[in-house]
Structure 1
Amino acid sequence: PMDQQPVDSVFPAMAQAIIASDDTIEERPEVVQGFVDAVLRAVRDISDDPAAAAAQYVALVPQHSENLAGIEAVMRAYAELIYPEGENQPLGAFDPERIKAVQDFYVEAGIVRNAVPVEELYTNEFIK
């Protein structure tokens, strides 16, 4: 048996993030928007029906078909524990307070040398 512990109880990390350079955001916003839309659609599909999402996955990656139950369990865990929207936190949106807490930790731990204004670290402009 394995216990699970929310990462927030240890570190204010983010489960997943999409990263694009400032240049790409400025020069090719339609590409960024398309990618964000596709990822959020996949997240919603997994959240809506983890069993169907797992079945679709193994149909596309048949070498994993022997582990359908395990893949479904992983998708169900993401749907229940990682993907639910927080209060005032739409799916896919960055939380500036969380980013600040992560940055503060990184600076204090010497992982990064200098803090930068948090608003320069993210954008929520592609979240619909």
Structure 2
Amino acid sequence: MVNLLNQALRSRDVRKLVEPHLHEVVWDSGVDETSEWVMASFEDLTHIQKLESWLNSKEISDSIEVILTDTAWSELQQTTWDALLKKPDDYFNQKHMLVVAADSSWIMEYTPQQIIRFGRWVKVTCRV
């Protein structure tokens, strides 16, 4: 997939680059082998620590740039993985959203039901 680092990208550009390839994502397992979803709650310290531990388990470089967008692809925000890790409650705030690595290597989806999933794109031979 094309690199999403271009600062001039508009939301519709991101959608055109990401959405057609969502079927190629291999989602990590979540709560069990039948589901890729895990809890993403900020209701108490235990839940916060579990979410932070899960995010850290993805072993992503702190400097990786990420794009956050709502599922309507109308709002874009660019940040880094490190900023997201430091204050996840600033980003996961009861709005359905996608977090996409600017290098198009992985994607994370958050839903307002306080669940989250993480996946990586499988290699495809021809992407434009």
TM normalised by structure 2 equals 0.27
RCO (CA 8 Å, sep 6+): is it higher in 1 or 2?
A: 2
Structure with higher Rg: it is 1
The structure with more strand, counted as a fraction of residues: 2
TM normalised by structure 1 equals 0.27
